[in-house]
Amino acid sequence: MNTQSYPCRVPRALVASLVAASMGAVAAPAAAHHPVDTDAVSEWNATAGRAAVATGISPVGNPLHESRLYAMTQIAIHDALNSIHRRSEPYAFAARARRHTSVDAAIAAAARGVMVPVLQQPPFGAGISDAVALVEADYAAAVDAIPEGRAKRNGLTIGRAAAAAIVALRADDGADTLLVDAGYPQGDAPGEYRFTPGFTFAFAPGWGEVTPFALYDASQFRAPPPYRVTSRRFAADFNEVKSLGSATSSTRTPDQTEIARFWIESSPLQWNRIARAVAEDRGLDPWQQARLFGLLDIALADGYIGSFETKYRYDFWRPVTAIHEAGSDGNRRTQPDPGWMPLDVTPPIPDHDSAHAVEGGAGSTVLRRVFGSDHVAFSGCSSTVLTGTLPAGADCDGDAGNVLRRQYTSFSHAARENGLSRIYVGWHFRKAVDDGIRHGRRIGKFAVANYMRPLHH
């Protein structure tokens, strides 16, 4: 692999300076000489999700920065663990920890070292203080549980250095792009995107220019274009979403309605929860968990970058616009309905391809390849399955309260249902869903094939 082609490699001089400033000369491969919390990686993965919810960007709102936060956090944890015992290729930090280094301290310091500074950057808003306090409390609890001594100090040092490396690498990645663009040019011809009802702006039209975590560039696996609005195939997709996705649909089944609401939840939040459940069931050790979450979140972050590049490249109208204005689309197989509304409010982003479907394709592919099989049964929970939120006291992670769980026979089963949910909720045409799943699969496959590859000694 030609690593010079990839955007996410830290210069050796930066790695050296980070290590030298924090721990002195690099020593021989390290060994932990105290019990290791085998769930620490998974617990910090869950902490990242709770922090995102505390800021208000999850479970609905801004999955773009959410996915970036998760990817950076998991990369730091992965690289910190690999500095203690090299089991897979490092991503951004390739130092060697000292001989006596606490694994738990390294994990905690790596997670905190990313989340605290990133959560204090735009666009995290009103919930910043709550999110940072949550992270700090979990960090204090984790560190207090580790016996004082050299191993603890070394662990904290290597974790902080791994975090500093990925924070430095992503400092100018373009994630400060404008999220609310009221001046985005709207189209007026059939098929051209225009603002969706209830919005006077387009969301994050520049996200496709953010530096990817794994891809050569955002357009690497760009989906093919949408159907021509005068075609028979467009009409078939049009009439399907018009029927199944309507707020007052008489053809959508109760199960399809449940699917629509179940998968409204943030993709990064949900696919990380799925990964934690399967990792726990399979008994993965901290290094295996770190690689799993690292690859998953790299692929999910690049899924949004790739999809938004595709979306604003094609600039295709949403079903709600197409259905309202079908009288002028030149297709005799489509009929307008000016009063039609989807099951839930359509986001202010072009249709093609479905980023949610891309996420499902990417997430399921990473899980399938890491676990070595698609046929893994699991159950899923969602914070948006009922009337927009879970009932008071309910918690998907802890199963507290009256939560509803859906059962899946494979990762691809969940990805397919996730994609179909976008038709049932009235947000996407089927082609946007099908192309999105394929787009995501290619991103997931690429990430696993080229990053954090296992080392065979």
The CA distance from 153 to 198, in Å, is: 53
With a cut of 50, say whether residue 60 has pLDDT above it.
yes
pLDDT at 398 over 80: no
Answer yes or no: CATH 1.10.606.20 is held by domain 187-212+228-450: yes
- The label of the residue with tokens 């909720």 reads 425
Per-residue pLDDT tens over the stretch 416-453: 999 999 999 999 999 999 999 999 999 999 999 999 99
Least confident window among 117-131, 266-280, 360-374: 117-131
Answer whether residue 17 shows pLDDT above 90. no
| Domain spans, the chain | 6-169, 187-212+228-450
What stretch of H or E contains 187? Answer: none
For range 165-172, the mean pLDDT: 98
Q: What is the CATH number of domain 6-169?
A: 1.20.144
What is the residue type of 194? R
Q: How confident is the model at residue 104 (pLDDT cuts 50, 70, 90)?
A: very high
Kindly state the tokens that stand for 440: 């995501």
Q: Quick one: pLDDT at residue 402? A: 56
Both tokens assigned to 36: 């290791």
pLDDT tens across 208-218, in order? 999 999 999 99
Check: CB of residue 357 under 8 Å from CB of residue 436. Answer: yes
Phi, psi of 348 (to 5 degrees): -85, 65
Per-residue pLDDT, 405: 84
Q: In angstroms, what CA-CA distances link 101 with 124, 152, 293?
A: 33, 6, 22
Query: What burial class does residue 311 get, using C-beta atoms within 10 Å of its C-beta: 0-12 exposed, 13-18 middle, 19+ buried?
Result: buried
Tokens representing 188 are 């007026």
Q: Helices (DSSP H) in 99-246: which residue ranges?
A: 103-119, 128-144, 150-169, 232-244
Residue 352 to residues 39, 80, 311, 422, 433: CA-CA distances in angstroms?
A: 39, 38, 5, 12, 8
- The average pLDDT across 102-119 equals 97
